[in-house]
Amino acid sequence: MISPDYPQEPRRILIADDSASSRDLLRSILEANGYVVEEAEDGQQVLEIIESFGPHLVILDLHMPRLDGYSTATSLRKTAIFQRTPIVALTAAITQTAPDRISESGFSAYLVKPIRPSSLRKCIASLLQIDSI
Amino acid sequence: MKDPAKISPRKADMPQQRDAERWLAAIVESSDDAIIGKSLDGIITSWNAGAQRIFGYAADEAIGKPITILIPQELWHEEAEILKRLRKGERVDHYETTRLHKDGNSIVVSLTISPIRDSSGTIAGISKISRDVTEHRRLLASEQHARAEMLAERKFRELIEHAPDAILQVDTSGTILIANRTAELTFGYSLDELIGMQVDELVPEALRGEHAAHRKTFEAAGVSRPMGLGLDLRARRKDGSEVPVEISLSPAQTENGICVTAVIRDVTERKRAEQQIESLKKSYLAELEARHREAERLNQLKSEFIASVSHELRTPLHTIIGFAELLDEPETGPLNEKQKRFLHHIHTDSDHLLSLINDVLDLSRIEAGGLTVRTEGLLLPTVVSEAVSAIRPNAESKRISIREGQIPSVHVLADALRVRQIFYNLLSNGVKFTDPGGEVHVSAVQDGDRVEITVSDTGMGIPALECERIFDKFYQVGYTTAGVRQGTGLGLTICKQLVEMQGGKIWVDSEPGHGSRFHFTLPVLRDVTGITDRL
């Protein structure tokens, strides 16, 4: 077991992806590091459960039914308590205009699928550390 | 001065003979023709009234003179010829020639000349009968002239009649003097109607006033105006309809004073053809535009399709690769050797599939001009160590050591994503073509405003001839790749495009058995203030 990057309380991460296998993968990678993971199938579900779960970090797939990642991030940034919460975008293909749109929507970082466990861990560790400073 | 012996060689002592001589003399005297006697040496010996009338000389003026007084000097040789023939006893009949009147005018005469023999049969003189045919000839000539004129007139008329254009001749008052058959067809009036008609009636009513003024201007200037000139002219037909025409005008000095010859061409057919061409052109252009739009739409669709395919392919690949890596982690649980080997195959093949998808997507974007670089200041050592870390697991799994050499601490002006891609391509090529135990090495040197980055390996190397072509699309080094898993053949093509898009150059130096050294340059960002950390 890799030692967690937090001192006391386990960090909670909310992941949203319409692909069940992708959610399972993210959960498996993150749980191995001791994070507490909650899943949502789309942006709508994220908005429904996020306040009760109160994540330290959110991972949103950009392409989801009902409410996509961009809109979800935009909504979250309008909510006072999530204004500074790191939000990571997941995308299967990065287009020319995507980076601008990602940053305009309020994301803190983006990862392009396929996601390597090591790079996901690294990204999250750095975002949570930066956030905790 | 008479030479009696020569005029009357015979004795005229018998009364009957004298009567007969007087009789003959009266006949000679009464002839309309000139009857002239002359000696063999050309001296006039007798001269009748006819001769006096034709040549103007009285008998006493002519007799004793040489015949040459009647002959234009340029024809004297003719006389010599005639004399020669006569001496031989020949005659000359109805010989037409020119002679001179006393007043110097030329006369056309028809000559009949015969030798006169004495009782012994010897040629003693010459009788010359001249008929004045001047008038006859003049009549003949004028008849011929008239016929020629008539022919010319007919030819001219035919020319005018058969001209494909309407031809009008108009006098200064605007009255039509001449019209041809095509004018009948063009304007719908008969020739009888046209002749004597005011030309202005052939102009559309609205323009008549103007036309009269134009006519005056033209007559005053008196300069020909050629057809065309881009004027949009119309003529009015008898039935009131209008036809598009082209008109050329030229002034002509005639016996009726200055007239204007107008050649009028009905351009209805041509205009129709022009309109057809114009409308065809328009429809072709419209079609071309539609095709162009369709091509653009299809291109857009293609891009969307490729993006969508890429997205759809990467989504499942993402979990395949992710789970394969998780399975490999000791935390997941121990695997036996067979499981590890299988997992390795899943891993490498899904990685390969991923790079195929990426390369195809990138190249299609580059070719569609849809890929632009977004340059920013990037700290080179960071870029290099990130790239090296990314490839390290791959290298280590092949027991290839990957090392960073000297990297100057400069900011390069580049696109983070694309620079990573270039490094990834070059490093993974290095790993791919190097045997286990070998080494892949990255170093960089700054050279003024650019930095040259070198990725070298201890692999099999590339023959010199191949070094140029290695950056061509779909080109793969033939025999050297034997036994090496094939890529797309697009990696270096993409690298070259990406390097050039960022203002750099890429090249390779290599020789078989001594590894390869890929070099590429990137611009160095001098002023590092204002560089924002990327996401």
Residue A2: its pLDDT value, please? 47
* Amino acid present at B125: G
* Contact of B195 with B176, CB cutoff 8 Å: yes
For residue B92, the tally of other CB atoms under 10 A from its CB is 16
Selection from A112-116, B394-398, B454-458 with the highest mean pLDDT: B454-458
Residue B528: its pLDDT value, please? 55
CA distance B361 to B1: 136
Interface membership of B417 toward A (CB under 8 Å): yes
Cβ-nearest to B321 among A28, A99, A114: A114
Residue B363: its pLDDT value, please? 77
Indicate the SS3 state at residue B271: helix
Average pLDDT for B283-302: 88
Average pLDDT for B315-337: 86
* Amino acid present at B476: Q
Tokens of B350: 């899904």
Higher local confidence (pLDDT), B302 or B275: B275
* Contact of B28 with B49, CB cutoff 8 Å: no
Residue B326: its pLDDT value, please? 87
Cβ-nearest to A110 among B323, B350, B535: B535
Query: Per-residue pLDDT for B318 more than 70?
Result: yes
Residue B379: its pLDDT value, please? 92
* Amino acid present at B257: G
Residue A7: its pLDDT value, please? 56
Residue B455: its pLDDT value, please? 95
Give DSSP secondary structure letters for B455-518: EEE-S----HHHHHHTTSTT---TGGGTTSPP--S-HHHHHHHHHHHTT--EEEEE-TTS-EEE
Query: Per-residue pLDDT for B486 more than 50?
Result: yes
Residue B441: its pLDDT value, please? 93
Asked if A99 and B374 come within 8 Å (Cβ–Cβ), the reply is yes
Positions of E strands within B319-458:
376-379, 401-404, 411-414, 439-447, 450-457
Of B532, B519, B329, which Cα lies nearest the Cα of B442? B519
Cβ-nearest to B314 among A25, A92, A108: A92
Interface membership of A97 toward B (CB under 8 Å): no
Find the helix packing angle between A20-32 and B268-328, rounded to 10°.
Answer: 40
Residue B529: its pLDDT value, please? 53
Q: Which string of b and e fits A8-35 if b means at least 16 CB within 10 Å? A: eeebebbbbbbbeebbbbbbbbbebbeb
CA B291 to chain centre: 30
Asked if B331 and A109 come within 8 Å (Cβ–Cβ), the reply is no
The band of B302, judged by pLDDT with boundaries at 50, 70 and 90, is confident
Asked if A114 and B310 come within 8 Å (Cβ–Cβ), the reply is no
Interface membership of B364 toward A (CB under 8 Å): no
Asked if B535 and A103 come within 8 Å (Cβ–Cβ), the reply is yes
Q: How far is A64 from chain B (nearest CA, A)?
A: 12
pLDDT, one tens digit per residue, over B191-204 is: 899 999 998 888 88
Cβ-nearest to A96 among B321, B329, B372: B372
Q: How far is B286 from chain A (nearest CA, A)?
A: 33
pLDDT, one tens digit per residue, over B38-50 is: 888 889 999 998 8
* Contact of B118 with B99, CB cutoff 8 Å: no
pLDDT, one tens digit per residue, over B407-426 is: 999 999 998 888 988 998 89
pLDDT, one tens digit per residue, over B153-163 is: 888 888 888 88
Interface membership of A113 toward B (CB under 8 Å): yes
For residue A94, the tally of other CB atoms under 10 A from its CB is 18
Contacts of A63 in chain B (CB under 8 A): 311
Interface membership of A22 toward B (CB under 8 Å): yes
Residue A114: its pLDDT value, please? 82
Contacts of A24 in chain B (CB under 8 A): 319
Question: How far lies B154's CA from each of B159, B163, B262, in Å?
Answer: 8, 14, 21
Residues in a beta bridge with A87: A58
Interface membership of B239 toward A (CB under 8 Å): no
Rg of chain A on CA atoms, in Å: 14
CA distance A38 to A57: 11
Contacts of A22 in chain B (CB under 8 A): 315, 318-319, 322
Asked if B314 and A114 come within 8 Å (Cβ–Cβ), the reply is yes
List the domains of chain A with CATH numbers: 12-126 (3.40.50.2300)
The band of B473, judged by pLDDT with boundaries at 50, 70 and 90, is low
Residue B258: its pLDDT value, please? 81
pLDDT, one tens digit per residue, over B367-404 is: 766 677 888 889 999 999 989 988 898 889 889 999 99
Partner A, chain B 323-352, Cβ-Cβ below 8 Å:
323, 325-326, 329, 331-332, 350
The band of B286, judged by pLDDT with boundaries at 50, 70 and 90, is very high
Cβ-nearest to A114 among B307, B322, B371: B322
Selection from B97-101, B363-367, B452-456 with the highest mean pLDDT: B452-456
CA distance A54 to B494: 44
Q: How far is A126 from chain B (nearest CA, A)?
A: 12
Chain B: residue whose CA lies nearest to A119: B390
Contacts of A29 in chain B (CB under 8 A): 322, 326
Asked if B311 and A114 come within 8 Å (Cβ–Cβ), the reply is no
Question: How far lies B296's CA from each of B300, B303, B360, in Å?
Answer: 6, 10, 20
Residue B527: its pLDDT value, please? 61
Give the number of C-alpha atoms closer than 13 A to the C-alpha of residue A117, restricted to the C-beta side: 23
Q: How far is B279 from chain A (nearest CA, A)?
A: 43
Contacts of B417 in chain A (CB under 8 A): 94
Interface membership of B307 toward A (CB under 8 Å): yes
CA distance B477 to B485: 12
Backbone angles phi, psi at A122, to 5 degrees: -65, -45
* Amino acid present at B67: I
pLDDT, one tens digit per residue, over B98-141 is: 899 999 888 888 888 888 888 888 888 888 888 888 888 888 88
Place of tokens 């003097």: B177
CA distance B439 to B402: 6
Interface membership of A92 toward B (CB under 8 Å): yes
Indicate the SS3 state at residue B40: coil
Q: How many residues does chain A have?
A: 133
Interface membership of A107 toward B (CB under 8 Å): yes
Residue B2: its pLDDT value, please? 45
pLDDT, one tens digit per residue, over A21-32 is: 899 999 988 988
Query: Per-residue pLDDT for B245 more than 50?
Result: yes
Interface membership of B526 toward A (CB under 8 Å): no
pLDDT, one tens digit per residue, over B84-95 is: 888 888 888 888
Query: Per-residue pLDDT for B451 more than 50?
Result: yes
Min mean pLDDT across B12-26, B150-164, B254-268 is at B12-26
The band of B305, judged by pLDDT with boundaries at 50, 70 and 90, is confident
Residue B482: its pLDDT value, please? 45
Chain B: residue whose CA lies nearest to A20: B319
Find the helix packing angle between A69-78 and A43-53, rounded to 10°.
Answer: 40
The band of B4, judged by pLDDT with boundaries at 50, 70 and 90, is very low
The band of B301, judged by pLDDT with boundaries at 50, 70 and 90, is confident
Average pLDDT for B277-301: 90
Residue B499: its pLDDT value, please? 92
Query: Per-residue pLDDT for B5 more than 50?
Result: no
Q: How far is A43 from chain B (nearest CA, A)?
A: 18
Cα torsion B447, B452, B458, B463: sign? negative
**What ipTM was assigned to the predicted interfaces of this complex?**
0.77
Interface membership of B318 toward A (CB under 8 Å): yes
Of B98, B173, B91, which Cα lies nearest the Cα of B128? B91
* Contact of B384 with B444, CB cutoff 8 Å: yes
Of A51, A95, A90, A86, which Cα lies nearest the Cα of A70? A90
Contacts of A110 in chain B (CB under 8 A): 535
Interface membership of A33 toward B (CB under 8 Å): no
Tokens of B344: 């390795």
Interface membership of B315 toward A (CB under 8 Å): yes
Asked if A92 and B325 come within 8 Å (Cβ–Cβ), the reply is no
Cβ-nearest to B319 among A2, A22, A32: A22
Cβ-nearest to A113 among B314, B365, B372: B314
Residue A16: its pLDDT value, please? 94
Q: What percentage of chain B carries pLDDT values higher than 90?
A: 23
pLDDT, one tens digit per residue, over B32-83 is: 889 999 888 889 999 998 899 899 999 899 999 998 888 998 888 888 888 8
Residue A132: its pLDDT value, please? 44
